[in-house]
Amino acid sequence: MTTRLSDLTNRIQNEIALSHHSAESESRLICFHLFRKYFGLQKMSDLFGVDRIFQLPIAFENELDFILRERKKNYPLQYLFSYQFFLNHEYEVNPSVLIPRPETELLVKEVFAHYPAKSSLCGLEIGLGSGIISSEILFHYPNLKMLATEVSTEALIVGEKNIYKVIGKEKATRFQSHLVKKGEIFPSKTTLEVYGLDFIVSNPPYLLNHPSEVEEGVSLFEPKVALFPEEGVNFFYKEIISLSQKILKDGGMVFVEIPHERSKEIERMFLDADFSVSITKDLSARDRVISAKKRK
């Protein structure tokens, strides 16, 4: 079929307008995804600079129909596209991993702000998911080694694959991941002995599993194990503090993403464990990241 780009974006926008506030920006994202895939366009500006006429392949039309049908059911665009951009890279995503969020960039940037790029460091991530955090940290610090834990086998596969894509062959020597059992965040001492880590970083599951508490934008198509801590709302913060007493060096750092509603409570947990704490706010001026230093 032959179509003018502006007619196509208007058609998409009208179809999803009833269910989505952001129909205009979504329609551009959908167009960009399809034109990148079927016409090899690389940048949004390559597509939207001039209002051109295109001859659309049948596969393009079929995929567009499929995306529109699924979008009306609120199925996330990122799972439909199978990727999401985060900081410097494109990451594969599927329904076994949380969709990377822009606010998690703050968490990674907090790590960057604490150590110069040439530092030789050893870090640990709790809850690897799609691998965005470990991957961006490994990419930024060429002399750094990362360990990561994950409870979901499917997520671990996606995370490792993404890290392999970003740091390539070095993965084998610079990155190690470990599957853990539910109820633990780190393998028992008999499986893995680690001491003197420089930092622990985590965007743990932290939402209360109650419809009134699930923030706007949280998709119920995402894995529950990535969203809701079954063991109790502050389980991960409690466990990370306790783990850091054992394996973090004195003066080491803990960086965690937090729910703004419970920031004071979580800050208190770190203060009581003798950490010094600073809190970073997100773009909506809500407490989002705790950076905590273990006292010497």
| Residues at the interface with ligand SAM (CB under 6 A) | 97-98, 100, 104, 126-130, 132-133, 149-152, 155, 180, 185, 203-205, 225-226
Q: How far is the CB of 162 from ligand SAM (least distance, A)?
A: 10
**HEC assignment per residue over the chain:** CEEEHHHHHHHHHHHHCCCCCCHHHHHHHHHHHHHHHHHCCCCHHHHHCCCCEEECCHHHHHHHHHHHHHHHCCCCHHHHHCEEEECCEEEECCCCCCCCCCCHHHHHHHHHHHCCCCCCEEEEEECCCCCHHHHHHHHHCCCEEEEEEECCHHHHHHHHHHHHHHHHHHHHHHEEEEECCCCCCCCCCCCCCCCCEEEEEECCCCCCCCHHHCCCCCCCCCCHHHHCCCCCCCHHHHHHHHHHHHHEEEEEEEEEECCHHHHHHHHHHHHHCCEEEEEEECCCCCEEEEEEEECC
Q: How far is the CB of 155 from ligand SAM (least distance, A)?
A: 4
Nearer to ligand SAM, 170 or 230 (CB): 230
Q: How far is the CB of 47 from ligand SAM (least distance, A)?
A: 28
Q: How far is the CB of 268 from ligand SAM (least distance, A)?
A: 22
Nearer to ligand SAM, 28 or 262 (CB): 262
Nearer to ligand SAM, 38 or 164 (CB): 164
Nearer to ligand SAM, 91 or 275 (CB): 91
